[in-house]
Amino acid sequence: MKTKNVQAAFLISAIAFSLFSFIAVQQWVELGSRKVNFGLDRDVINVSNRDGYFEAIKIVVRGGALNMHRCTVHFENGGTQEVELRHNFAKGSDSRVVDLKRK
The pLDDT tens digits for 16-75 are 554 454 445 567 778 888 887 767 778 888 887 666 677 888 888 888 888 888 888 888
What pLDDT is attached to residue 103?
62
Q: What are phi and psi of 16, to 5 degrees?
A: -60, -40
- Residue 7, pLDDT above cutoff 70: no
Q: Is 7 helix (H, G, I), strand (E, B) or coil?
A: helix
Of 37-41, 77-81, 98-102, the range with the lowest mean pLDDT is 37-41
Q: What are phi and psi of 50, to 5 degrees?
A: -65, -20
Residue 66 burial (C-beta neighbours within 10 Å; 0-12, 13-18, 19+): buried
What are the angstrom distances between the C-alpha of 68 and each of 54, 85, 88?
A: 22, 7, 6
Give the whole-angstrom CA distance, residue 32 versus residue 41: 18
Q: Is the pTM of this model over 0.75?
A: no
